[in-house]
Amino acid sequence: MREILLITLSGPDQPGLTSKISETLARYRINVLDIGQEVIHNQLSIGLLIEVPEEYSSSPVLKDMLFTAHTLGLQISFTPITDEEYTQWVGEQGKPRYLISLLGREIKAEQIMRVSSVITAHQLNIDKINRLSGRIPLEQEEKKNTKACIELSIRGTLQNEDGFREQLLAITDDLGIDIAFQEDNVYRRNRRLMVFDMDSTLITSEVIDELAIEAGAGEEVSAITEQAMRGEIDFNVSLQKRVATLKGLEESVLQKVAERLKLTEGAETLFYNLHNLGFKTAIISGGFTYFGRYLQKKLNIDYVFANELEIVNGRMTGQVLGEIVNGKRKAELLEQIATTEKISLEQTIAVGDGANDLPMLGKAGLGIAFRAKPIVKETAKQAISTLGLDAILYLMGFRDRDSLNSNEAR
């Protein structure tokens, strides 16, 4: 009679364990139906679902496995699996799969507890938990710029996705952690184009505000910018009002402002990795082409689309030239670049922070609200607020050990 057994082993990790365990099973021509292995802090945990051929009884198999485990210093247990249980397990393989990523400076038990409780409440199962980030130091002063990310692979049919996302968003607000939820599909590690908003996304400031400071209209323009990014006033109207305050400003101010711009945390690391992976990159900004091209040279960006300031006789006229790059235009440009590069929209990623970024975030295969205004964070499917831009690599499934930091890339 056929027997199906679940064998679990645990104990100190050492080279050759899997080889010796499988060698014992091989003597009985065991069929391995499933296998999984993890090592946490040099402690091994391995599970094997095996089918014992009819010509062998389980007794000698169990005896030899007990002896092998003893010689290797491992704990071992056996669980019989009925044909009905196995058939049910096989039937579950067609169910949808999702990924939940927890991102922060460190991961706390309460955060995992809250997230796993929501998963259970929606009748989903956690299949696997992986740590994508590197190991976190214990000393507090070394934790300032650490990154922590764990990824939960979950399975099941989600009946109320909107409610599920709302509950996860509530946890981010309560516990100061980012939670990304996405379908586990073929596109996840097969993206080919990433586009970025510029102001308050690739750089830490709003360029129009910096220019307005030089023109003596800093407070007025900053207030309008904030309203526009929150979606409270039309973007075209807000841009025209803000640019009008720059009338008469010398062209030389552009270089002065460009030189004091600061890249957002993780930007250089992210771009080094994107280039290494063969990505196409673009800036699609409601800001200005002068600064987009400045960043293009700095980060080796493929495309730049932004607004062109009109300059006559070395001074700004307070007008912009051509079609304004607003929210609608951003989405069109994303599609245009993807078509040019023969890339499907499912293979694109868009990153932005303001209400005018929502159309392109919605059109991209993966739209990420980065350190975004509340309306954007609530609307976009993914949001990152606690870490830098290089945390996007986690959402693509890359571990720290898979990627280069900017210093290594040099």
Residues 273-284 have pLDDT tens digits of: 999 999 999 999
Catalytic residue list contains 402: no
Candidate CATH numbers 3.40.50.1000, 3.30.70.141, 3.50.50.60, 3.40.50.720; the one for domain 193-409: 3.40.50.1000
408 pLDDT exceeds 50?
Answer: no
Catalytic residue list contains 197: yes
Distances in whole angstroms, Cα of residue 327 to Cα of each of 101, 207, 288, 360, 361: 28, 18, 15, 7, 10
235 pLDDT exceeds 80?
Answer: yes
Query: Which is it for the CA torsion 401, 405, 408, 410, positive or negative?
Result: positive
Per the residue annotation, which of 199, 209, 353, 357 is the catalytic one?
199
Per the residue annotation, which of 34, 173, 184, 197 is the catalytic one?
197
Q: Same fold for the domain at 3-91 and the one at 95-183?
A: yes
Q: What is the mean pLDDT of residues 335-361?
A: 96
Residue 349 has a pLDDT of 97
CATH superfamily placement of domain 3-91: ACT domain (3.30.70.260)
**How many other β-carbons are positioned within 10 Å of the β-carbon of residue 40?**
9
Q: What percent of the chain is predicted at pLDDT more than 70? A: 96
Single-letter amino acid, residue 280 = K
Q: What ranges do the domains of the chain cover?
A: 3-91, 95-183, 193-409
**How many other β-carbons are positioned within 10 Å of the β-carbon of residue 36?**
12
Model confidence band, residue 264 (pLDDT cutoffs 50, 70, 90)? very high
CATH of domain 95-183: 3.30.70.260
Residue 378 has a pLDDT of 86
306: left (phi over 0), alpha (psi -120 to 50) or beta: beta
Mean pLDDT score of the chain: 91
DSSP-derived pairing of the beta strands 303-312 and 280-288: parallel
